[in-house]
Amino acid sequence: MKIIELKFVDLWQVTDGPTCRAEQYELTAQYHETGFAEGDILEAKDAHEARSLAKYYRKIIEKIQKQLVQSR
């Protein structure tokens, strides 16, 4: 475990990247299921892998947000 010190506002910005990544993997899963997605898709072998990666990024976001709320 590592401790990173950033301004509060910067920490919220840190969640933006994983949020975008999760959304792209969700679109990728949609693409694998339907053959269509509005937006860029990422490399994943199938919808299951894409959903797993989206969930992984959502968990990271959740951990960061939980720590932000607790530190207020």
pLDDT of 8-42, one tens digit each? 788 878 889 999 999 999 999 999 999 999 989 99
Q: What is the pTM of this model?
A: 0.85
Res. 72: pLDDT tops 70: no
Contact 21, 57 (CB under 8 A): yes
What local confidence, expressed as pLDDT, does residue 35 receive?
95
Q: Return the domain boundaries, the chain.
A: 8-70
Element (H, E) at 5: none
How distant is the alpha carbon of residue 43 from its chain centre? 15
Kindly give, in sequence order, each residue whose CB lies less than 8 Å from that of residue 25, ignoring residues fewer than 6 positions away.
42, 44, 50, 51, 53, 54, 57
